Amino acid sequence: MAKREIKFSLVYRDMWQSSGKYVPRVDQLVEVAPAIISMGCFDRVETNGGAFEQVNLLFGENPNKAVRAWTAPFHKAGIQTHMLERGLNALRMNPVPLDVRELMFRVKKKQGTDIARSFCGLNDHRNLKGSVEGAKKGGMISQVALSITHSPVHTVAYYMDIVDKVVAYGADEICLKDMAGIGRPTFLGELVSDIKKKYPHIKVQYHGHTGPGFSPASMLEVARAGADYLDVAVEPLSWGKVHPDVITIREMLRADGFLVKDLNMDAYMEVRRLTQKFIDDFLGYWINPTNREMTSLLVGCGLPGGMMGSMMADLKGFQSAINAAQRSHGRPEMSLDTLMVKLFEEVEYVWPRLGYPPLVTPFSQYVKNTALMNLFNMLSDKPRWSTIDKDTWGMILGHMGRLPGPLAPEIVALAKEKGLEFTTGNPQDNYPDELPKFRAMMDQEGWDYGEDEEELFELAMHERQYRDYRSGVAKERFNTELASLKAKAGAPIVVSRPVVEMPSFDIDHYLQQYPSATPVQVPVKGQLLWQVDVDDASAAPTVGIAVKAGDVVARVQTWYGMEEVHAAVDGRYVAVLGKQGAGVVKGEIIALIQ
């Protein structure tokens, strides 16, 4: 007898966001959406949230336009969209006032996002309360994500206590956010089973990265325990340190007796092709090659695979200074791999002493940064804990929420030595409302608040990046950085040719005048051909050369700078790719009568 149905959610945002800095252009996202829909196996797609807003702004693009254009085709197809937000930190790395958080939910709902997936990096239910209430008030489905990790304090009972509280606040769904993929499969199954037994009406979704290799087993366990949705990915950015591929997980579940939707492989291959296309275009220059690799080294340190690229860049930056210190003490230099293992070992030392914060944004960065500075200082013969940054101290002191475990006595003593005070109050109270201030800024700049106040929201959420976007600095910075990376990679130099003007003509006019024009195939890329079946050659389209009746006119390179052209299916028109001639835009069909 077949088991119940398991549904899939495509986490496409995580796939390309593994670059950690930029995103595809809006036109590239819109181009791939029909292929995702045609795959036929997805009930949900994670379209935005996380760093999506910031990386759009860094790219010099408007994230509001991106969200609206990207979510629209999925809505039309009846596929739900969901976003990721960080509780108290909303869509950034530091705390956000409550009025800005509430505006976020209203804006994202209006832009076409159905579900708010909300997590707190400390699993503090007080931070999640604002998210649940804000999402519901904004008309969204509230899905609370438990930040999953593996430690002595992160038990099933610990997580169920959070579930009890957020369900009481009004949460509609629960997600197990296994951001580092280190949740043990049997543990995850037990947690899902307990949630389903206590709250059978609550939908449960599992989101697990593949870095350490547990995720397929975890997905099978949570499915058997009653999970409703599983997050999966598609090549070329599945597996590695991102998510398992839908093909494998679908077949695994079907073999176990679950009902799963059919998968259109032609559409899968089209998604694969289009994704690779924008990776090759520019995004791949920022994606660390190690993101494609799984590694069991992540099991011990528990760091999420998504931050491996930035971590390796940090290590590389420190390598020369560390090796200089090694040489000065007569010690051998260290390779990048040796430093990576040492950093992982230091994370294992630091993490419990900082109260076991789940290793998810931004707290994974805080723990990693502290471990990196410890490593650097110790190799330079300085004591551990010599350098702790301001944000990490904010976490330690309770400004962002309650830590899951106790702080080590040495950390408490260090705080007292520095005259720092601990707090146990509601973290949101430390960050008063700010929207009136940002409204005044918009008015002063003469900027429109935007549809549904979405531009106001971007300024309030990401002030510096939004100003760089508005000024054009962000786009200029992106273009400069891309040119530099292409040069380093030995990419071909693109030469821009001047546009050659050609007389304009009206296609419909010629179609009416010559309804029996004979189609001519284009045999060679780069040639534009047409044949005019008239007695009077003077009636042929004027292109600046003599045309006799019945002639086939070729040599597009004379007029189009050797741009690619392709015959349409019926051979009657030719599409020219690239802007050429007055009034012609990319992709417009300009050639004509055949």
DSSP secondary structure string for all residues of 93-147: SS---HHHHHHHHHHHHHHT--EEEEE-TT--HHHHHHHHHHHHHTT-EEEEEEE
Residues 107 and 217 in one domain: yes
- Above 90 in pLDDT, residue 215? yes
Q: Is residue 461 part of a domain?
A: no
Residues 167 and 187 in one domain: yes
Q: Is residue 256 part of a domain?
A: yes
- Above 70 in pLDDT, residue 1? no
- pLDDT interval class at 511 (50, 70, 90): low
Range 168-174 average pLDDT: 98
Residues 129 and 69 in one domain: yes
* Structure confidence by residue, pLDDT tens digits, 315-326: 887 888 888 888
* Structure confidence by residue, pLDDT tens digits, 406-422: 999 999 999 999 999 99
- Above 80 in pLDDT, residue 164? yes
* Structure confidence by residue, pLDDT tens digits, 426-446: 999 999 999 999 999 999 999
Residues 33 and 59 in one domain: yes
Higher pLDDT: 40 or 326? It is 40
Phi, psi of 380 (to 5 degrees): -100, 15
Q: Is residue 476 part of a domain?
A: no
- Above 80 in pLDDT, residue 562? no
Higher pLDDT: 44 or 573? It is 44
Residues 100 and 125 in one domain: yes
> How far, in Å, CA of 329 to CA of 54, rounded?
43
pLDDT for 300 equals 83
Residues 233 and 176 in one domain: yes
Q: Is residue 368 part of a domain?
A: yes
Looking at the 3D structure of the chain, how many domains does it have?
Answer: 3
Q: What percent of the chain has pLDDT over 70?
A: 80
Higher pLDDT: 590 or 368? It is 368
Residues 211 and 333 in one domain: no
Last residue of a domain, one of 271, 289, 307: 289
Element (H, E) at 205: strand 203-208
| Cβ–Cβ < 8 Å for 56, 21 | no
Residues 338 and 396 in one domain: yes
Query: CA dist 15 to 66, 234, 279, 284, Å?
Result: 17, 8, 11, 12
pLDDT for 503 equals 43
pLDDT for 128 equals 98
Residues 49 and 177 in one domain: yes
Q: Is residue 215 part of a domain?
A: yes
3-state SS, residue 178: strand
| Cβ–Cβ < 8 Å for 315, 339 | yes
| Cβ–Cβ < 8 Å for 311, 343 | yes
pLDDT for 469 equals 95
* Structure confidence by residue, pLDDT tens digits, 332-367: 998 888 988 898 899 999 999 999 999 988 899 899
Cα 365 versus chain centre, distance: 18
- Above 80 in pLDDT, residue 590? no
| Cβ–Cβ < 8 Å for 401, 126 | yes
Last residue of a domain, one of 429, 450, 478: 429
pLDDT for 315 equals 80
For 3-17, 382-396, 490-504, which range has the lowest pLDDT when averaged over its residues?
Answer: 490-504
**Averaged confidence pLDDT in the chain:** 83
* Structure confidence by residue, pLDDT tens digits, 79-113: 999 999 999 999 998 999 999 999 999 999 999 99
Range 120-144 average pLDDT: 97
CATH code, domain with 145: 3.20.20.70
Last residue of a domain, one of 234, 268, 289: 289
* Structure confidence by residue, pLDDT tens digits, 232-245: 999 998 998 889 99
Residues 281 and 316 in one domain: no
* Structure confidence by residue, pLDDT tens digits, 276-302: 998 888 888 888 777 788 888 888 888
Q: What percent of the chain has pLDDT over 90?
A: 62
Phi, psi of 93 (to 5 degrees): -95, 0
Range 371-384 average pLDDT: 90
Query: CA dist 257 to 2, 187, 218, 223, 246, Å?
Result: 5, 22, 17, 11, 16
Range 127-139 average pLDDT: 97
Residues 313 and 409 in one domain: yes
Higher pLDDT: 36 or 554? It is 36
Residues 56 and 156 in one domain: yes
| Cβ–Cβ < 8 Å for 364, 370 | no
> How far, in Å, CA of 521 to CA of 238, rounded?
40
* Structure confidence by residue, pLDDT tens digits, 533-553: 334 434 434 333 333 333 333
Q: Is residue 486 part of a domain?
A: no
Q: Is residue 480 part of a domain?
A: no
- Above 70 in pLDDT, residue 515? no
CB count in 10 Å sphere of residue 136: 17
Query: CA dist 493 to 441, 489, 539, Å?
Result: 42, 11, 42
Q: Is residue 448 part of a domain?
A: no
For 142-177, give one letter per residue: b (16+ CB within 10 A) or e.
bbbbbbbbbbeebeeeebeebbebbbebebbbbbbb
pLDDT for 288 equals 75
- pLDDT interval class at 475 (50, 70, 90): very high
**Domain range spanning residue 581?**
496-594
| Cβ–Cβ < 8 Å for 70, 26 | yes
pLDDT for 509 equals 61
Report H helices in 215-261: 215-225, 246-255
